[in-house]
Chains A and B, each alone.
Chain A
């Protein structure tokens, strides 16, 4: 079975500050890992994904995440927060590239203060 734990249901940062959203996973098979962002009353938008290969993954809007197998982590970072980054962020794991079901974390709401 697979599971995802997102540490911190709410994270608040100042505009221009580093964004760090934490995600730890559990998987008995090599994981495929995803970060999605959800704006109010909208669907989910894919930020980035890790399948195989390079462990540092770059995504859209300046976000990146690093797969650390030894720590079973896939934390999301962005060097400088923008007001437009305020949203809900979901980490997810699957056993294959997404054609298998995704297991989501509970989400982290990011607030960006001016």
Chain B
């Protein structure tokens, strides 16, 4: 149980384009989803927290207009990187928590974004 998927697992895009990453909880209802960014050989940096049906709460320094987060249902959250630039290249990981996980966060496998 407590499986979280992400799609795509990797994506390459041109500078200036937008990329959407999906995060799904497969066997539980995720009342809260989190989006993290991880640079090579570093720890995870929380970007934002989203609760189903509410606007996301962004961490300090994260541009909300650049990283659009939508948590439209109890099993799906999306992160859209708008007008991507090479510095946005990173490993993006989502996690989800809900009553079914005893409110413990379970993580997706991550999405590798490369912006050319």
Contact = CB atoms under 8 A, between A and B. Distances in A.
Q: How large is the interface on A (under 10, 10 to 19, 20 to 34, 35 or more residues)?
A: 20 to 34
Kindly state the interface size class of chain B when it binds its partner: 20 to 34
A105 B93 contact: no
Given A44-B44, A97-B102, 4 more contacts: A34-B105, A43-B93, A46-B106, A97-B104
Interface of B: 4, 6, 31-32, 34, 42-44, 46, 49, 91, 93, 95, 97-98, 101-110, 112
Contacts of B103: 96-99
Main secondary structure of the interface of A (DSSP, over half): loop
Nearest to B99: A99
Contact of B105 (A42, A51, A98): A98
B21 to A, nearest CB: 13
Contacts of A36: 107
Contact of A101 (B46, B98, B112): B46
Interface of A: 34, 36, 41-46, 49, 51, 90, 96-99, 101-102, 104-107
B31 to A, nearest CB: 7
